[in-house]
């Protein structure tokens, strides 16, 4: 039987494949992937289309932090602060950053308009919560960034109506020279329910790590949790919410540590191949030395 002739991929197919590789690049590695893809595609038009669509998705998914010109500090690139395609609000400074997604750089800033900012009533709660979260992040994630956004009810002027805030925390430790990159991302949706004087919290935690020294090992784990607290004054509410976030994130890190501590007794021994290709026995009794949790903590600066 004659061999089937290989069919040349269309430009749309090539763009789709390129986008997949870009969007799924590990934390901090999209620029390396894009450089190689550009060489493989050998077609600037296809690459530019793929990059223009993939980079914004990647940047917002990984909650990258970019330095703003003019000494305004850093801005988180997240859908919660997105005003237009390339404009992102930084609530801490009330500035709007204009971002070049492909270059992963902030090109300029402008002051936010009154319409883009919450009312004074909502801002009091947002600002108090952000102050507490900044303290927590400084202690737990020395390499981390955070912001608090109003996602619903930003025009509420006084008690009697509901509004929502979102806490975004992102920490990344990129060390490609040591063949290791990692990220920690958490998003906390907080519903302020005035009628029942209660706050509902919904947290989504994501941890990713990539080790590629003489191999390719990736960690991609997710966790969701819920909690609630009383609707109080801005300062008391902020302290209560920050304590809940601290408790849940600390508990999740502890659960990761416990899971990977048990790898030697469970997952490693369930490997199908008892002997590697080298025919060398795996050191089962010393597998406890491979603590991914410890490596992640060290790379992200957690707990220091």
Helix, strand or coil, per DSSP, at residue 68: strand
> What is the reported pLDDT for 178?
87
CB atoms within 10 A of CB 184: 29
**What's the CA gap between 304 and 301, in Å, rounded?**
6
Q: What is the pLDDT of residues 265-301, one digit of tens each?
A: 666 566 555 556 666 665 655 555 555 556 666 666 6
Q: What is the pLDDT of residues 122-135, one digit of tens each?
A: 999 999 999 999 99
More confident residue, 17 or 256: 17
**What's the CA gap between 181 and 300, in Å, rounded?**
9
More confident residue, 271 or 136: 136
Q: pLDDT-derived band of residue 1, with 50, 70 and 90 as boundaries?
A: very low
Nearest partner of 86 among 61, 63, 104, judged by Cα: 104
DSSP state of 190: E
Which residue reads 């590789």 in tokens?
A: 21
Average pLDDT over residues 79-104: 95
Which residue reads 């270059």 in tokens?
A: 103
Asked if 199 contacts 191 with a C-beta cutoff of 8 angstroms, the reply is yes
More confident residue, 3 or 100: 100
Phi, psi (deg, nearest 5) at residue 43: -150, 105
> What is the reported pLDDT for 84?
86
Q: pLDDT-derived band of residue 3, with 50, 70 and 90 as boundaries?
A: low
| Vertex 135: Cα angle to 137 and 250 (nearest 5) | 45
DSSP state of 3: P
Q: What is the pLDDT of residues 200-209, one digit of tens each?
A: 999 999 999 8
What percentage of the chain reaches a pLDDT higher than 70?
A: 84
> What is the reported pLDDT for 21?
96
> What is the reported pLDDT for 2?
47
> What is the reported pLDDT for 159?
93
> What is the reported pLDDT for 213?
83
Lowest mean pLDDT across 22-26, 58-62, 255-259: 255-259
> What is the reported pLDDT for 127?
97
Q: pLDDT-derived band of residue 120, with 50, 70 and 90 as boundaries?
A: very high
Q: Enter the pTM of the model.
A: 0.83
- Kindly report the average pLDDT of the chain as a whole number: 88
The answer, yes or no, to whether residue 231 has pLDDT greater than 90, is yes
Lowest mean pLDDT across 203-207, 219-223, 234-238, 277-281: 277-281
Q: pLDDT-derived band of residue 256, with 50, 70 and 90 as boundaries?
A: confident
């Amino acid at each position: 039987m004659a061999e089937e002739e290989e069919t040349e991929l269309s430009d749309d197919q090539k763009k789709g494949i390129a986008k997949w590789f870009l969007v799924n690049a590990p934390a901090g590695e999209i620029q390396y992937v894009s450089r190689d893809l550009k060489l493989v595609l050998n077609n600037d038009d296809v690459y530019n289309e793929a990059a223009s669509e993939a980079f914004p998705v990647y940047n917002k998914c990984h909650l990258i932090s970019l330095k703003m010109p003019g000494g305004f500090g850093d801005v988180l690139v997240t859908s919660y602060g997105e005003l237009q395609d390339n404009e992102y609000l930084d609530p801490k400074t009330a500035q709007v950053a204009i971002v070049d997604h492909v270059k992963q750089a902030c090109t300029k800033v402008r002051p936010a308009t009154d319409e883009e900012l919450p009312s004074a009533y909502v801002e009091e709660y947002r600002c108090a919560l952000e102050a507490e979260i900044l303290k927590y992040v400084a202690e737990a994630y020395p390499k981390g960034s955070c912001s608090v956004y109003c996602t619903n009810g930003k025009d509420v002027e006084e008690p009697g109506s509901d509004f929502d805030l979102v806490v975004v925390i992102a920490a990344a430790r990129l060390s490609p020279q040591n063949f290791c990159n990692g990220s920690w991302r958490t998003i906390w949706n907080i519903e302020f329910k005035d009628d029942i004087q209660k706050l509902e919290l919904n947290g989504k935690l994501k941890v990713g790590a990539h080790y590629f020294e003489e191999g390719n090992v990736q960690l991609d784990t997710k966790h969701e949790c819920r909690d609630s607290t009383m609707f109080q004054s801005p300062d008391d509410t902020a302290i209560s919410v920050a304590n809940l976030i601290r408790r849940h994130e600390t508990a999740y890190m502890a659960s990761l540590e416990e899971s990977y501590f048990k790898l030697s007794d469970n997952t490693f021994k369930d490997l199908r191949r008892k002997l590697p290709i080298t025919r060398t026995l795996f050191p089962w009794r010393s597998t406890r030395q491979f603590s991914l949790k410890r490596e992640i903590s060290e790379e992200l600066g957690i707990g220091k």
